[in-house]
Amino acid sequence: MPDRRPGRAQGLRVREVTRERLLATAADVFFANGYGATSVDAVAAAAGFTTGAIYSNFGGKADLFIAVLEGVAERELAAMRDALDSAASDEQVLAALTSSIATDQGHWRARVAATFEFVAASRNQPDLQHRIDAAQRRVDETLGEALLAVNRALGLPPPADLPALSRAVNALMGGFAVRALFSDDVDLATDISHGVTALLTGAAAIANDGNHVNEDHANAAH
């Protein structure tokens, strides 16, 4: 029987609102100041809570940062899916992949810089590295779903190895983002779009070659 005690639902909602406010504030502070220069005290003060609110909801600074990254990735991928759904041309389909980057390249750069600080700080912490890897794998999986939608919209065959393609696209995005940290010549949205197009085209060629080989084998068997 469900717990119908008065106030329980309200308490859960308050906790949810607190968590959302902490995440939004933490994203602003982390991306503005960097991971290393940001403290739990600073995030709590900016959000209008005590540090206890952070520790009770996230456990600490590293957990909070991972939650921030996961939340940002989920919103960006959701925006990508929405842009794909409304795309009316091949150009709009490809632009959907970089919709969040094109909206605010400065914010994207700041997030990448803070993320690299975080990854560097975790290099001697195996447990934290495993959790970062697990979070990245979830992003890769969701990105793979978006890439399949792009393939369908462009009339391309499904990639022979979707996980590998998703990792390659993620690596390409990260690589251009790092370059953009020290080079003003990088146009993130344009450069990433061109790179992703090349990867999708290459993956389609590999898939077609594989299909032809399978057909040849089938014909030979008869």
Residue 60 predicted with pLDDT over 70: yes
Q: Which residue has the higher pLDDT, 57 or 11?
A: 57
* Backbone dihedral region for residue 120 (phi beyond 0: left; psi -120 to 50: alpha; all else: beta): alpha
Q: Which residue has the higher pLDDT, 211 or 74?
A: 74
Q: Which of 64, 55, 213, 81 is nearest to 146 (CA)?
A: 81
Residue 50 predicted with pLDDT over 90: yes
Write down the pLDDT at residue 210.
Answer: 55
The whole-chain average pLDDT of the chain stands at 86
Average pLDDT over residues 84-88: 87
Average pLDDT over residues 188-194: 88
Place of tokens 């008065």: 6
Would you say 138 and 120 are in contact if contact means Cβ atoms under 8 Å apart? no
Average pLDDT over residues 178-188: 88
Instruction: Let me know if domain 62-221 sits in CATH 3.30.420.40.
Output: no
Q: Extract the tokens encoding 183.
A: 């080079």
CA distances from 19 to 54, 67, 88, 122, 201 (A): 8, 10, 37, 24, 42
Q: Extract the tokens encoding 109.
A: 């750069």
Would you say 37 and 72 are in contact if contact means Cβ atoms under 8 Å apart? no
* Backbone dihedral region for residue 48 (phi beyond 0: left; psi -120 to 50: alpha; all else: beta): left
Residue 4 predicted with pLDDT over 70: no
How would residue 8 be classed by pLDDT, with cut points 50, 70 and 90? low
Residue-wise burial string across 132-162, b where 16 or more C-beta atoms lie within 10 A, e elsewhere: beeebeebbebbbebbbbbbebeebeebeeb
Amino acid (1-letter code) at residue 103:
T
Write down the pLDDT at residue 30.
Answer: 97
The contacts of residue 80 (CB under 8 Å, 6+ apart) are 96, 97, 99, 100, 146
